[in-house]
Each structure stands twice: as C-alpha cells, then as structure tokens.
C-alpha cells in the first residue's frame, strides 16, 4: 500500500468501492435466498391451507384417492417416526458415548467416528432399498416395521454424531470433579456428564428426528400404503409422506391440492420440532 | 457396572460397523444376478433395464449434482459471508436456527415447489391441468432438477460455511484491519484462505447429498431412462425410487440392487473425503 501523493486517493477509492460492492452483493444474495425460501414456504402454505379449508381432513382423502383420510396419515407418520426413534436411540446414544467417553483412548476411536460420519451420509433412498432387500423383497420387505427400520438406519448415525459432539463439548473439569468425589466412571458418566449434556443431546435428538421425518423416499419404497403394491394392508399404514406423493400422482383433479395439505402438515410439524430443538439448546452440530 | 457401560458402548460402536457391513452384504447379494451377467457378457442390455437405465442415470446424476453445486456454492458463500460480516448482531444470532429450519424442509416440498413454480417459469407445460402424473413422465429434465437440488443444498452449505467463517480467529482479522485492509480484503486475504480446505469439504459433503437425493428430483426430472441422445432425465436415486416394486423380474430387481450398491459406494467415498477435509480444517493446528 504505497501512499504516493497522486495514487493514494484513486486507489483508496477503488478499494473502498470494491469493498462496498462486496457488501452489496452478499446482502443481495442473502436477501435473494431468503426470498426464495419464503417463496417455497408461502407456496406450500397457501396451497395447503386452500385445500385444508375446503375439505374435511378425515374424509377428503378417501374421496380423492388417498388410502384413507389425511387424519389417518398423520397418525401413521407419527407412529412410524416414533418407532424409528425408539429403535435408533439406544444404539445411537451408546455409540455416541463410546466416541466421546468410553473409547476416548481406544485405537478404534477414529474408525468409529469415521463410520458414524460416513453412515449419516447414506442416501435415504438407499436405506429404503437396503431394508427392502434385507427383509426379503416383496415377501416381507414392506410394511410398518420395514418403514421404521429404514428411518432408524438414517437416524442412528446422526444420533451418534450429535451425542458425541455434545459430550465432547463439556468441560473436562466436570468429569474430573465427578471422579474427584470418588464416583466410579460409570456413575460420573451417567450422573454428571450425561446430565449436563442432556439438553444438548435432547435438542440434537429432536433435530435428527426432524431431518429424518422429512425423508419420503424410504417410506415410499417400503411402506407404500394405498398403492396396488400394498400386499398386507394390516401392516401398511398411510403416512403423510406417502400420501403427499401419491395424491400428486393420481388423476383426480382434486387430489393434488390435498397433496399440498399433506406436505404442509409435514413441513409444519418439522418446523415446530426444529424450533423446539433450537429453544432447548445448541444448534451447532455440523451436518452435510 | 463399569464393565457393563463399557461393553454396551463397544456394542453400540460395533453396531455402526455392522450396519454398513450388513448393508453392503445385502446389496451385493441382491445384485449378484446382475453382477454375474456383467462378468460373463460385456453387454449391459442383457440385464434388462440395467442396460437402458444405468448409463443415463449416471450421466443424469453427475449433471444434476454438478449443476446444483455450481449454483449453490456461490449463493451459500454469499449468505454465510453476509451473516458473519454484515448482518446485524441479532439477525446473525438467529441465523443458525433459521438455516436449520430451512435445511429441515422436506425435500419433497422442494420438488413440489419446483413442479408448480420452477417448471412453468422455465417454460415447460403448466402442471395444474391434466394431472401431475403425466408431467412426471413428460416434463422437466436435468436442468430444473439441478436447480431444485441447489435450493435444497443452500441452507446446510451456508450453515457449515458460516460456522467455519465464524471460527476464524479474531486476532487474524484484527491484524488485517490494523494494516488497513478493507472488509473485502480481510475476507479475500484472511478469511477465505483460512477456511479453504474446510469449505472444500463442506462442498463435497453437499455433493454427497445431492447425488443421493431422490425425492426433490423425482417430481421434476421427467424419469425417462433413455440413453441420453439429448438430455438425460433420470438419476440413480430416482431410478431406484421409481423402479423398485414388488414382483419384479429377478434380473430387474437385482440390477436395481446393483444401482443402490453403486450409489452407496459413491456416497460413502464422497462423504469420507468430505469429512476428512472438514475435520482437517477444524482441528487446531490442522488448518493450513
């Protein structure tokens, strides 16, 4: 940065202009992206509410090609996500504890961490295909349990990653304080570390639920209620996920608008869960 | 008791390994008929749909994911820089949760938005009349698919970039400001070099996500598994989503399993590389 009498003013002005241009362009990009997402949300909200107001949720689906009313689909979605959560939580939590506490000095630590990372990138559709073939294809690969398993496959590694990250963020002095009081490691882990990390783990768990609950592809493959593929109706509940897609595809002119309602309900539920997670604690987990 | 905790944690950790192993074994097993034909005979066509679907879906995947990154990376970087450099304090504190909510919107919703907003806007036929089902096999193509994928990627990508940029040591920024650097020069010469490798990792993670995404794409890409004489209009993920049904001929089902296996391998490798880079930049002293 030479400060010659001649060059100084022009050069400084140029540098200032570049910086202003930079500021303007990032602001513009941020506003554009915000507008884009607002557009997406308004689209789904507006179309969803329009259909909502004109029909009785419990009955409308039956008339316009859904397996049954959307009210049933809400229940189905809740059940399948809850079931997936119950399957995934023990494994995910415990694997997270291994990464952050038990296996801290293990030579497998790197490998386990890597595995959790890599697994949380498995595409939803692949999880669906895997469960479908693992449980015997058309014979047993479809139904409520396969649906929950496919979602659990996606949820497990996410929970492991977020649990370990929350535990690792605790200050080591907390753990040491537990030890100093004479607590054996397990007691210190459960009564000190886990308790301190509980809000973080809970919020991370909610976030994992929200992310996985938005995955439609696996359910479409292994829980396609209402399609001709549904072989065992007892085990095949309708879900918002599948209904949104199927209603979009039917030829009934009224049906697509109900698909928007299904999508709106799904989005709203997920937004509430994420918001709750944000209220509860740290939203710092990085996720690709 | 200590032993119990230890054993449980180890079991949870090994469950992650087991999950990936079982996934690979199941898919390889299901793909064996298709693999055998591949080995005996060079002609892909013998595998039925595999021959007509694999090549276009590979091209379609590469193209749509590539386009998504080209569009999403500058946008995400712009948002991240705006949030960290220029946004008012209060807004920047809320950015995490806003981006998190945006990132948790079900990908199906993006697909539906693309269907009713983006496609007509890009000049394809209007969707409303004639049923959506017709359009799903007629309209779209790989370009709108890439754009929708980009919209889906922006939140997570900018959230990751935001965290990395925020982690740049304040002392480095201050040093640059002290020698008279403008806002832009601080970003250009201090911030960006500092986050370069982490950013590359985040972009690669985004690549992994867009390669495996089925739901956002399936509604608008057109799903025509033709050898791409003009524009490919299918991806590996959508091929799986639309192709897998009960009671398929063995070879057809098996080629789909092979496709899923390829997708799994691709995403695991991509994810592994991306994670490496992200971690490299976030460990102290690891940033070069």
CB contact under 8 A, A121 and B136: no
**Distance (Å) from the C-alpha of residue B226 to the closest C-alpha of chain A?**
21
Going by pLDDT thresholds of 50, 70 and 90, the confidence category of residue A287 is very low
Q: What is the ipTM of this complex?
A: 0.82
Per-residue pLDDT at A59 exceeds 50: yes
Nearest CB to B79; choose among A19, A30, A160? A30
Decide: A185 and A166 in contact? Cβ < 8 Å: no
Local structure of B233: helix, strand or coil: strand
CB contact under 8 A, B209 and A132: no
Cα B273 from chain centroid?
14
CB contact under 8 A, B219 and A217: no
- Note whether A7 contacts B: Cβ–Cβ < 8 A: no
Residues of chain B in contact with residue A274, where contact means CB-CB under 8 angstroms, are 97, 100-101, 104
pLDDT at B45: 46
Contacts of A42 (CB under 8 A, 6+ apart): none
CB contact under 8 A, A122 and B29: no
Going by pLDDT thresholds of 50, 70 and 90, the confidence category of residue B77 is very high
Per-residue pLDDT at A54 exceeds 70: no
Per-residue pLDDT at B230 exceeds 60: no
Maximum average pLDDT range among A66-70, A79-83, B214-218:
A79-83
The residue in chain A having the minimum alpha-carbon distance to the alpha carbon of residue B182 is A19
Decide: B64 and B221 in contact? Cβ < 8 Å: yes
Mean of the per-residue pLDDT values of chain B: 78
Window 21-50 of A: residues touching B by CB (8 A cutoff) are: 21-23, 25-30, 32-33, 36-37, 39-41, 43-44, 47
Q: What value does the CA radius of gyration of chain A take, rounded to a whole number of Å?
A: 25
Query: What confidence tens digit (pLDDT) does each residue in A189-214 have?
Result: 888 888 888 888 888 888 888 888 88
A202/A102: higher pLDDT: A202
Going by pLDDT thresholds of 50, 70 and 90, the confidence category of residue A33 is very high
Nearest CB to B16; choose among A137, A157, A215? A157
Residues of chain A in contact with residue B214, where contact means CB-CB under 8 angstroms, are 123-125, 217
Structure tokens at B112: 């539906």
A133/A250: higher pLDDT: A133
pLDDT at B287: 32
Per-residue pLDDT at B154 exceeds 90: yes
A29/A174: higher pLDDT: A29
The whole-number average pLDDT for the span B223-249 is: 67
Per-residue pLDDT at A109 exceeds 90: no
- Note whether A10 contacts B: Cβ–Cβ < 8 A: no
Residues of chain A in contact with residue B185, where contact means CB-CB under 8 angstroms, are 15, 19
pLDDT at A25: 92
Q: In whole angstroms, give the CA distance from residue B35 to residue B27.
A: 11
Q: Look at the block and give the residue holding tokens 């709108």.
A: B144
Decide: B228 and B141 in contact? Cβ < 8 Å: no
Per-residue pLDDT at A233 exceeds 70: no
**Distance (Å) from the C-alpha of residue A283 to the closest C-alpha of chain B?**
7
Per-residue pLDDT at A215 exceeds 80: yes
Q: Which of A102, A272, A131, A121 is nearest to A190 (CA)?
A: A102
Per-residue pLDDT at B280 exceeds 70: no
Per-residue pLDDT at A283 exceeds 70: no
pLDDT at B127: 45
pLDDT at A138: 66
Q: Say what percent of chain A tops pLDDT 70.
A: 81
The residue in chain A having the minimum alpha-carbon distance to the alpha carbon of residue B246 is A138
Going by pLDDT thresholds of 50, 70 and 90, the confidence category of residue B168 is confident
The whole-number average pLDDT for the span B104-131 is: 71
The residue in chain A having the minimum alpha-carbon distance to the alpha carbon of residue B132 is A249
Q: Which of B110, B103, B97 is nearest to B76 (CA)?
A: B103
The whole-number average pLDDT for the span B21-46 is: 70
The DSSP symbol for B229 reads: S
- Note whether B208 contacts A: Cβ–Cβ < 8 A: yes
Q: In whole angstroms, give the CA distance from residue B164 to residue A46.
A: 36
Q: In whole angstroms, give the CA distance from residue A156 to residue A96.
A: 10
Nearest CB to A95; choose among B15, B20, B156? B15
Structure tokens at A100: 């952050």
CB contact under 8 A, A36 and B151: yes
- Note whether B250 contacts A: Cβ–Cβ < 8 A: no
Going by pLDDT thresholds of 50, 70 and 90, the confidence category of residue B146 is confident
Mean of the per-residue pLDDT values of chain A: 80
- pTM for the predicted model, two decimal places: 0.84
- Note whether B267 contacts A: Cβ–Cβ < 8 A: yes
Per-residue pLDDT at B124 exceeds 60: no
**Distance (Å) from the C-alpha of residue B237 to the closest C-alpha of chain A?**
7
Per-residue pLDDT at A129 exceeds 80: yes
Per-residue pLDDT at B203 exceeds 60: yes
Q: CB contacts < 8 Å between A and B, how many?
A: 321
Q: In whole angstroms, give the CA distance from residue A10 to residue A23.
A: 20
Local structure of A209: helix, strand or coil: helix
**E-only strand ranges, B67-215:** none
φ, ψ of residue A56 to 5 degrees: the values are: -90, 120
CB contact under 8 A, B267 and A126: yes
Nearest CB to B13; choose among A1, A112, A129? A112
φ, ψ of residue B116 to 5 degrees: the values are: -95, -20
Per-residue pLDDT at A55 exceeds 90: no
Per-residue pLDDT at A230 exceeds 50: no
The whole-number average pLDDT for the span B7-14 is: 83
Residues of chain B in contact with residue A107, where contact means CB-CB under 8 angstroms, are none
Q: Say what percent of chain B tops pLDDT 90.
A: 9
CB contact under 8 A, A114 and B275: yes
pLDDT at A24: 92
Per-residue pLDDT at A286 exceeds 70: no
Decide: B103 and B194 in contact? Cβ < 8 Å: no
Residues of chain B in contact with residue A288, where contact means CB-CB under 8 angstroms, are 156, 160, 202, 205-206, 208-209, 271, 274-275, 278
Range with lowest mean pLDDT among A126-140, A144-158, A226-240, B191-205? A226-240
pLDDT at B150: 92
pLDDT at B232: 59
Going by pLDDT thresholds of 50, 70 and 90, the confidence category of residue A29 is very high
């Amino acid at each position: 940065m030479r400060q010659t009498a001649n060059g100084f003013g022009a050069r400084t002005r140029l540098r200032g202009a570049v910086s202003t241009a930079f500021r303007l362009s990032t602001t513009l990009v941020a506003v554009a992206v915000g507008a884009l997402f607002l557009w997406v949300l308004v689209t789904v909200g507006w179309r969803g509410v329009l259909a909502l107001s004109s029909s009785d949720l419990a009955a409308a689906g039956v008339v316009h090609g859904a397996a049954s009313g959307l009210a049933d689909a809400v229940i189905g979605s809740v059940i399948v996500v809850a079931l997936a959560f119950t399957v995934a939580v023990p494994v995910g939590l415990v694997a997270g504890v291994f990464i952050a506490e038990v296996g801290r000095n293990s030579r497998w630590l790197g490998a386990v961490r890597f595995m959790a990372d890599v697994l949380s990138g498995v595409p939803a559709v692949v999880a669906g295909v895997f469960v479908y073939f693992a449980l015997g294809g058309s014979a047993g690969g479809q139904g409520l349990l396969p649906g929950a398993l496919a979602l659990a496959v996606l949820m497990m590694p996410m929970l492991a990653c977020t649990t370990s990250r929350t535990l690792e963020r605790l200050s080591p002095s907390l753990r040491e304080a537990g030890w100093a009081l004479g607590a054996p490691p397990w007691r210190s882990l459960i009564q000190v570390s886990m308790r301190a990390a509980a809000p973080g783990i809970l919020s991370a768990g909610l976030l994992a639920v929200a992310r996985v609950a938005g995955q439609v592809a696996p359910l479409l493959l292994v829980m396609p209620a209402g399609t001709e593929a549904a072989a065992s109706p007892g085990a095949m509940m309708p879900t918002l996920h599948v209904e949104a897609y199927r209603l979009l595809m039917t030829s009934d002119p009224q049906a697509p608008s109900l698909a928007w309602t299904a999508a709106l309900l799904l989005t709203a539920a997920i937004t509430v869960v994420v918001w709750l997670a944000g209220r509860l604690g740290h939203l710092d987990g990085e996720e690709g | 008791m200590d032993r119990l905790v230890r054993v449980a944690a180890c079991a949870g950790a090994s469950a992650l390994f087991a999950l990936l192993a079982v996934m690979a074994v199941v898919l390889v097993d299901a793909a064996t008929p298709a693999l055998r034909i591949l080995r005996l005979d060079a002609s892909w066509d013998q595998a039925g749909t595999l021959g007509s679907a694999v090549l276009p879906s590979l091209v379609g995947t590469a193209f749509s994911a590539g386009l998504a990154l080209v569009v999403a990376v500058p946008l995400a970087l712009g948002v991240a820089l705006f949030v960290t450099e220029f946004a008012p304090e209060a807004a920047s504190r809320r950015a995490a949760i806003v981006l998190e909510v945006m990132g948790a919107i079900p990908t199906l919703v993006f697909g539906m938005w693309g269907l009713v907003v983006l496609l007509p806007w890009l000049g394809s036929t209007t969707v409303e009349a004639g049923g959506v089902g017709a359009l799903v096999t007629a309209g779209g193509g790989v370009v709108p698919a890439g754009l929708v994928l980009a919209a889906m990627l922006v939140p997570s990508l900018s959230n990751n970039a935001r965290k990395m940029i925020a982690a740049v040591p304040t002392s480095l920024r201050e040093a640059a400001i002290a020698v008279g650097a403008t806002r832009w020069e601080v970003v250009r010469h201090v911030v960006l070099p500092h986050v370069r490798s982490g950013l590359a990792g985040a972009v690669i993670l985004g690549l992994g996500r867009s390669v495996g995404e089925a739901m956002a794409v399936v509604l608008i890409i057109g799903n025509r598994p033709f050898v791409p004489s003009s524009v490919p209009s299918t991806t590996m993920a959508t091929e799986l989503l639309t192709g897998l049904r009960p009671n398929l001929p063995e070879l057809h089902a098996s080629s789909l399993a092979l496709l899923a296996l390829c997708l799994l391998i691709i995403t695991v490798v991509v994810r592994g590389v991306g994670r490496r880079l992200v971690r490299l930049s976030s460990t102290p002293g690891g940033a070069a």
